[in-house]
Amino acid sequence: MSDMQPSPATTPLSGSVLVLIQFDVCEELLLDRLQQTISARTVQLPSIKHSVPAYVRYQRPPVVEPLEVLILDSGERLEGEIKYYDYGVVSVVYQLPFSGDWDSLVQLASRWVWDVDFATHVEPVVRQKLQRAASSMVKPYARWLSEDYFIFHVREVAGAPTADQLVRENVLRIAQIVRGDRLNLSTGECAEVLNSQISYYTSDVAVIGWNAAFLYDSSVGAETAIQLLEYANSQLLEFRHYDELLSGILDGVYASLEKRKGMFSRWRLARSATSLHTVLLDVAELTERADNAIKFLSDMFAARLYKLAAARVGVHDYKDLVERKLKTADDLYNFMVEQFNQSRAFFLEATVVLILLIELFYLFKGRPL
């Protein structure tokens, strides 16, 4: 356990602390129209790590504009910006420069993660911004889902240790920061946290958790990791929305099927099946657009970083839920169509029999027995 002992708590650190607050506000944001109503610019991911052309690109780059300084109850002043994604997610990023030691960063992480309700501070700002851009919102939602995420970016450490040295000597405190916990974590929990680390050079490391991440990197090197974490959380938000949407649709279909008993009630299934199929196509199109918002052309490190981030924040779990519910909905659609076809076949057969009986009746009506 000697390598589990933290380095001296007074080791000087510097960097910044970021909080991402995201809202799913509508089905789609028309970015071209949005730019006509606000003072904003488009954003692209920078080249990741090595000096080659950028290989990570947005299919539709988000639109970004600066925000006024946010002052917390503690007196901390946070600078921020707001990003608008074409698939209906609005992302707010606030950051605070940090200079102190390990213990002060652990305390700050715990306070921000558990004690500060950033969504309450930020949602009114987002609503005010969107009031100006209502015409760019396609099918706005009455209720917004939200996600928040914290990034603790350490840029400089006294002695300039390598990433391996930093992690080895500060396992406990890094785990506390990622978990937002003031108490000492167990050896097993620390190991679990460190299972989600990734490095490119010997001088950088990212440790990614479900609610927060720790980065040790230069400002330029950390920029892409921050944007990929932001993107992963926006994906989580989208799949949460689709999960809720499909749950409501399936509940409605089951209730409708329970009420419709009998042969002729199956005729009404045609309209329900058509409506369900339309929703399935819409959801499939929306999920594909959100899933393909970022293209990893040939940067394998970026792809691995995003895959790790997506797995840790829960994107894959919700995506699997959505895909299973889409499969269930598709099975229900096929069942409803089959029931309707059976009813139609029965009706046609009955009609043929009835016509035959009528013809026989008139054929023998005038003949004496």
285 has pLDDT over 90: no
Q: Indicate the residue among 194, 220, 246 that finishes a domain.
A: 220
Mean pLDDT across 279-297: 70
Q: Is position 228 within any domain?
A: no
Residue 305 domain boundaries: 234-363
- Is 197 found in the same domain as 322? no
Q: Is position 314 within any domain?
A: yes
Sign of the C-alpha dihedral computed for residues 162, 227, 321 and 211 taken in this order: positive
Q: Indicate the residue among 220, 246, 275 that finishes a domain.
A: 220
- Is 288 found in the same domain as 241? yes
Q: Is position 225 within any domain?
A: no
Q: Indicate the residue among 160, 194, 220 that finishes a domain.
A: 220
Which has the closest alpha carbon to 141: 126, 160, 156? Answer: 126
Helices (H), 38-170: 102-114, 118-132, 163-169
DSSP codes of every residue in 69-107? EEE-TT--EEEEEEEE-TTSEEEEEEEEEEEE-HHHHHH
Q: Which residue has the higher pLDDT, 89 or 4?
A: 89
Quote the distance between the C-alpha of residue 258 and its chain's center: 34
Query: pLDDT digits over 305-326, tens only?
Result: 999 999 999 998 988 888 888 7
Mean pLDDT across 188-204: 95
- Is 320 found in the same domain as 189? no
Q: Which residue has the higher pLDDT, 31 or 253?
A: 31
DSSP codes of every residue in 184-228? PPPHHHHHHHHTTEE-SSTT-EEEE-SSEEEEES-HHHHHHHHHH
Query: pLDDT digits over 3-41, tens only?
Result: 444 445 678 999 999 999 999 999 999 998 898 887 666
Length of the chain: 369
- Is 247 found in the same domain as 143? no
Sign of the C-alpha dihedral computed for residues 158, 159, 162 and 167 taken in this order: negative
Measured between its terminal Cα atoms, the distance across the chain in Å is 109
- Is 107 found in the same domain as 42? yes
- Is 59 found in the same domain as 174? yes
Q: Is position 60 within any domain?
A: yes
Three-state DSSP class for residue 24: strand
Q: Tell me the pLDDT band of 345, cut-offs 50, 70 and 90.
A: low
- Is 279 found in the same domain as 190? no
79 has pLDDT over 90: yes
- Is 303 found in the same domain as 184? no
Q: What is the pLDDT of residue 275?
A: 65
- Is 244 found in the same domain as 179? no
Q: Tell me the pLDDT band of 2, cut-offs 50, 70 and 90.
A: very low
Q: What is the pLDDT of residue 299?
A: 77
Residues forming a β-bridge with 58: 294
Mean pLDDT across 49-62: 63
Q: What is the pLDDT of residue 55?
A: 52
Q: What is the pLDDT of residue 165?
A: 95
- Is 149 found in the same domain as 82? yes
215 has pLDDT over 90: yes
- Is 208 found in the same domain as 294? no
169 has pLDDT over 90: yes
Number of compact structural domains in the chain = 2
pTM equals 0.82
Q: What is the pLDDT of residue 7?
A: 46
- Is 276 found in the same domain as 323? yes
